[in-house]
């Protein structure tokens, strides 16, 4: 028997959604909402339908052509729109539209890590005051569930550390260089063609994307906003095939890691940089576009989250799950929240570690600077170039030693 939409069995009413931005992620969200409409309806106990898609471009041949609008106020002023999906990206227009959507009484779901990393505390506060939800599962780790697990499933723990491979593009590039012998540029081109890279790939390569993501995870784990400007960030452009070969010879691989760790004084040490990660450990096995995130809690110990960290469908998977959640809990807030930042961020020097160093120098100079080290044999090394591992050093101690050694070409922490 046919039921008109409002009266379908087990379905209370219709939830209308507006998608802002019809780029890679926004168009993926529209596709998933259509492809899995029946399952989504069953899970949400609501009919969820995309009513508007906002984009400044024209899409006359799109199957959703009649849904496109260019004026945000149409969405803002339509009370039937309950959930706004913000997939514009950036922290300017998206920021304005997110605040306007919340003020108009609509929950907002986003994959926009830049906006959450810059303004998360303010937007979460605003959503809380308005009894709405601001959800961003897709902002970190693409399709990997990580925001909800940290905020809900691990809520019984004091979290000590979050450490992860948070950028699919750089992991793809490093994997292709190390395993496939591909050049940096060829690997980047492939990552772009597959829809993994940011519009400006410098955000990937220089570590800013990973920085935004560790800010979000650190803020969530430690309850205070960590801003990108507070997090020292180094990308992968200084990593050469020679470093990859040295790492391999010593039993390690190279990974770009975002780290946030609670210090004994209660502050959080957060930074992003390339690391040597021991082969055989869970993070070393995270290859290609996959992300891996390790969370350490005092009750549970270490937990690993693993999956596709970039790409249209994995990201859309997380966005649509949040849409279902927002539709189902229209009158209940998720307990996803953190406070404004303050002085909680400690510099990376606070974190002790062993280091990998490659330098053009002689052994005597190395030992004068670092004392005893472990040299790495690399047959392809340039003449007069040495690669070695230091013992565990404090940050300031390492900097002093490094500055006293001339000819340093690369330095990376060992996880």
* Site of interaction with ligand HSE (CB under 6 A): 142, 167-169, 196-198, 204, 209, 309-310
Residues 6+ apart with CB under 8 A from 318: 111, 137, 138, 141, 142, 143, 144, 145
DSSP 171: H
Closest separation in Å from C-beta 315 to ligand HSE: 6
Rounded to a whole number of angstroms, the minimum distance from the CB of residue 97 to ligand HSE is 20
DSSP 177-244: HHHH---HHHHHHHHHHTT-S-SSTHHHHTSHHHHHHHHHHHHHHHSB---GGGS-B--STT--HHHH
Nearer to ligand HSE, 76 or 204 (CB): 204
CB of 310 to ligand HSE, least distance (A): 4
Distances (CA, A) of 206 to 167, 187, 201, 272, 325: 11, 15, 8, 10, 34
CB nearer to ligand HSE: give 24 or 41.
24
What is the smallest separation between the CB atom of 397 and ligand HSE, expressed in angstroms? 33
Q: Which is nearer to ligand HSE, 168 or 297 (CB)?
A: 168
d(CA 196, CA 43): 29
Please, what is the minimum distance in Å from the beta carbon of residue 203 to ligand HSE? 7
Backbone angles phi, psi at 249, to 5 degrees: -65, -30
- How far apart are CB 87 and ligand HSE at their closest, in Å? 12
Task: Considering the complex, state which of residue 87 and residue 253 has its C-beta at the smaller distance from ligand HSE.
Answer: 87
The verdict on whether 9 is a catalytic residue reads no
Q: Give CA–CA dist 396/398, Å, rounded.
A: 5
Q: Closest by alpha carbon to 29, among 316, 355, 384?
A: 316
Nearest to ligand HSE of 133, 167 (CB atom): 167
- Classify strands 252-262 and 301-308 as parallel, antiparallel or unpaired: unpaired
CA distances from 392 to 84, 202, 252, 396, 397 (A): 49, 31, 16, 12, 10
Cβ-contact 289, 308 below 8 angstroms: yes
CB atoms inside a 10 Å sphere around CB 408: 15
Q: Residues 51, 67, 106, 213: which is the catalytic one?
A: 213
Residue closer to ligand HSE by CB (options 190, 209) is 209
As measured in angstroms, the least distance from the Cβ of 359 to ligand HSE is: 31
* Dist CA 174 CA 147 (whole Å): 26
Rank residues 141 and 297 by Cβ distance to ligand HSE and give the closer one: 141
Q: Looking at the annotation, which residues are catalytic?
A: 213
């Amino acid at each position: 028997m046919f039921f008109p939409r409002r009266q379908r069995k087990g379905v209370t009413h219709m939830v209308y959604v507006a998608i802002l931005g019809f780029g890679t992620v926004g168009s993926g969200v529209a596709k998933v909402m259509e492809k899995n409409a029946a399952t989504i309806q069953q899970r949400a106990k609501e009919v969820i339908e995309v009513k508007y898609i906002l984009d400044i471009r024209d899409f006359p041949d799109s199957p959703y052509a009649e849904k496109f609008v260019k004026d945000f106020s149409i969405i803002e002023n339509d009370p039937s729109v309950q959930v706004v999906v913000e997939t514009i990206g950036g922290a300017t227009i998206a920021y304005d539209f997110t605040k306007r959507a919340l003020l108009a009484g609509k929950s907002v779901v986003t994959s926009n890590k830049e906006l959450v990393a810059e303004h998360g505390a303010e937007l979460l506060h605003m959503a809380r005051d308005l009894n709405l939800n601001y959800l961003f599962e897709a902002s970190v780790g693409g399709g990997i569930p990580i925001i909800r697990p940290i905020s809900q499933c691990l809520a019984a723990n004091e979290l000590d550390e979050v450490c992860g491979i948070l950028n699919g593009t750089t992991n793809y590039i490093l994997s292709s260089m190390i395993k496939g012998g591909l050049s940096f540029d060829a690997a980047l081109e492939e990552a772009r063609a597959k829809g993994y890279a940011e519009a400006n790939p410098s955000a990937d390569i220089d570590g800013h994307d990973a920085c935004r993501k560790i800010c979000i995870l650190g803020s969530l784990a430690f309850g205070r906003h960590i801003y990108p400007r507070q997090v020292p960030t180094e990308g992968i452009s200084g990593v050469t095939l020679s470093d990859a070969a040295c790492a391999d010879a010593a039993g390690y691989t190279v990974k770009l890691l975002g780290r946030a760790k609670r210090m004994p004084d209660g502050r959080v040490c957060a930074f992003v940089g390339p690391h040597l990660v021991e082969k055989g450990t869970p993070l070393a096995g995270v290859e290609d576009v996959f992300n891996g995130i390790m969370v350490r809690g005092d009750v549970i110990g270490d937990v690993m989250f693993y999956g596709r960290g970039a790409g249209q469908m994995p990201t859309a998977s997380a966005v649509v799950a949040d849409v279902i959640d927002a539709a189902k809990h229209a009158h209940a807030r998720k307990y996803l929240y953190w406070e404004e930042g303050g002085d909680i961020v400690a510099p990376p020097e606070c974190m002790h570690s062993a280091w990998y160093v490659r330098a053009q120098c002689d052994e005597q100079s190395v030992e004068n600077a670092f004392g005893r080290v472990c040299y790495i044999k690399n047959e392809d090394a340039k003449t007069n170039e040495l690669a070695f591992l230091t013992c565990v050093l404090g940050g300031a101690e390492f900097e002093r030693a490094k500055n006293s050694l001339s000819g340093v070409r690369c330095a990376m922490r060992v996880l």
